[in-house]
Structure 1
């Protein structure tokens, strides 16, 4: 839904390594959200293309000199020599491309102007999870944020209305289990384990990027096609036949070697392997932070369907990001769903102007 003419516009941005996510607040109310593919490791022109698509979708935001709040994880891609350079170059790029006031979210507290990015890159780098958690904490009190995206999972404990995370950056969060490099689209299947259950046997898998988690959730019917934006591992189609062929390659076979039910069973096994790993890390995070046993899981990301299942397994209540974070959840259920998927972009906008 485009913002109404004459409204005061604020945009929230989450500049990732694989996607750009953005939202528009019109007079403080959520008006629209979108996500575009952005394989940033292939070059900054991909960021330019995503920003141009945003400009085409929301021309009024450029014409009216809207205000922008941004967070990022894209500094991690190997286009950049190091993370500090990545933060600085993305900040410079945003400043050149966006019209109006621009502020960058600093997980250490406060906001930074683009020229300050190089000096404060450590606080800006990969802080999008912190923006989401800071929005939820005072609203939820005690809870656990489980944001399962295309590539990673954030597990953030909230205690007494405060963010109770032990880690503050990617390295620390990997060590504590609060960052799990598992997603429902881009994770190579070989990362889920060296062996699988196949027709009653445990067999080794091929440690090649023959298939990704998108192939699992495409077959199970859980991955929304709108979130299936990354190319398939082999660059081929995303129909059921092509998807089964990629799974078959993982176990040294062709799709014709087994039935559709066999390949669905293999996908279900991999699904359980991923759920088991994320669940193990979630229980670890909850134990370390002494999260209350009845504290809800707040699900976000395009893999929120797994967060809901984890809540059921652990006997915890389940709530969606949109119902907790938004002052007035939109009547448009699709818009609320996109708020769940693009939670950090919505969160930086809410922190800045909500």
Structure 2
């Protein structure tokens, strides 16, 4: 790569585009933009343009992605190629694609390396964290999914695909905002009685964390499940429907208690997955949980449940503009990809 000292890291997801600007090793800007990629590639164009407007242009771009998984594409490989073609047209300067264990590849090699490029953003984050913290559990809790990666003596997982990570427990489809509550538990207790949960898209994890007062406003970029208001009262109404009730059948304290029950179910899923991770038994007791993603506070809860100390990804950065610290933790793969690319130059 060129010696030019400024680079933008891109994480192209199926629901969000994240971008980070790095200048001479310093993180100077980070942005997350909603991008419902399943609705069409024009959504990617709009999100990239919005991120460029926020961060300004650079001559070099380092790209990782998970967006190839959306059902807009017939296959993951086709998704990789389509996304790279769109970015090549949209971004000025040079593109460098993160291909995990295959290193960095040019856009012209995207098809040949599609399997390595696809959904490698977790590996970018893990590789960068390993350079700062050689033994740790990386817990990146995003809007939709959670990445749980053991880093031992500077080496991350042997998994090569999302399928591998679903088998190992390193990928859990439970996030801060977009997860339907029916995915968290088949039944919950409410006011002393067991209720089976309706298998309907009535409410999402955004509702439970909003009711608990822990949902960062910037993280909630999508409409509510019913397209309605994003208030505690509206979240309580949506939550009540999950157990076949109306909101006036309970107090706000009742609905907050139910929200906490769903939150505990989400945490229990992450704890169970973490305890079964390959290599977790080899981590010493003082190895921390590195918390990242929009659901960083859920990762901190996970650390407490595992009896490990929690550190944020931003705390591992050697140089970051103070205004970017929270966003750098939220958009970890974009930041990591930019920093890895800078090191590779």
- Unmatched 5+ stretches in structure 1: 1-6
Alignment partners' CA distance in 1, 2:281 and 2:153: 11
1:235, distance to aligned residue in structure 2 (A)? 1.0
SS of aligned partner of 1:108: helix
Contact 1:8 1:66 (C-alpha < 8 Å) held by counterparts:
no
Contact 2:11 2:63 (C-alpha < 8 Å) held by counterparts:
yes
1:98 to 66, 79, 91: 91
TM-score, with length taken from structure 2:
0.96
Q: 1:130 to 1:289 in 2, by over 3 A?
A: farther
Show the counterpart of 2:29: 32
Please provide the CA RMSD for this pair: 1.3
Alignment partners' CA distance in 2, 1:174 and 1:52: 33
Alignment partners' CA distance in 2, 1:57 and 1:294: 39
1:286, distance to aligned residue in structure 2 (A)? 6.0
- Unmatched 5+ stretches in structure 2: none
Q: Deviations over 1:94-126 (max 9, x none)?
A: 000000011110012311111211111000000
Q: Say if 2:108 is the partner of 1:115.
A: yes
Show the counterpart of 1:339: 328
Contact 1:146 1:153 (C-alpha < 8 Å) held by counterparts:
yes
Alignment partners' CA distance in 1, 2:127 and 2:296: 19
SS of aligned partner of 2:188: strand
Alignment partners' CA distance in 2, 1:289 and 1:78: 37
Show the counterpart of 1:327: 318
Q: Say if 2:225 is the partner of 1:233.
A: yes
Contact 2:28 2:320 (C-alpha < 8 Å) held by counterparts:
no
Q: Which structure has more RCO (C-alpha within 8 Å, separation ≥ 6)? A: 2
Deviant stretches of 4+, over 3 Å: 286-289
Q: Say if 2:85 is the partner of 1:85.
A: no
Alignment partners' CA distance in 2, 1:55 and 1:313: 39
SS of aligned partner of 1:12: strand
Higher mean alpha-carbon deviation, 92-101 vs 303-312, is at 303-312
Show the counterpart of 1:43: 40
Show the counterpart of 1:169: 161
Alignment partners' CA distance in 2, 1:291 and 1:193: 30
Alignment partners' CA distance in 2, 1:107 and 1:140: 19
2:269 to 271, 274, 277: 277
1:151, distance to aligned residue in structure 2 (A)? 0.5
TM-score, with length taken from structure 1:
0.93
1:162, distance to aligned residue in structure 2 (A)? 1.8
Show the counterpart of 2:196: 204
Show the counterpart of 1:243: 235
Show the counterpart of 1:132: 125
Q: Say if 2:1 is the partner of 1:12.
A: no
Aligned length in residues:
340
Contact 2:30 2:55 (C-alpha < 8 Å) held by counterparts:
no
Higher mean alpha-carbon deviation, 101-110 vs 181-190, is at 101-110
Higher mean alpha-carbon deviation, 22-31 vs 263-272, is at 22-31
1:327, distance to aligned residue in structure 2 (A)? 2.3
1:265 to 257, 266, 276: 257
Q: Deviations over 1:41-74 (max 9, x none)?
A: 0111111111111222234x1xxx5200010000
Q: 1:72 to 1:250 in 2, by over 3 A?
A: same
1:294, distance to aligned residue in structure 2 (A)? 2.2
Alignment partners' CA distance in 2, 1:18 and 1:289: 34
SS of aligned partner of 1:34: strand
Show the counterpart of 2:145: 152
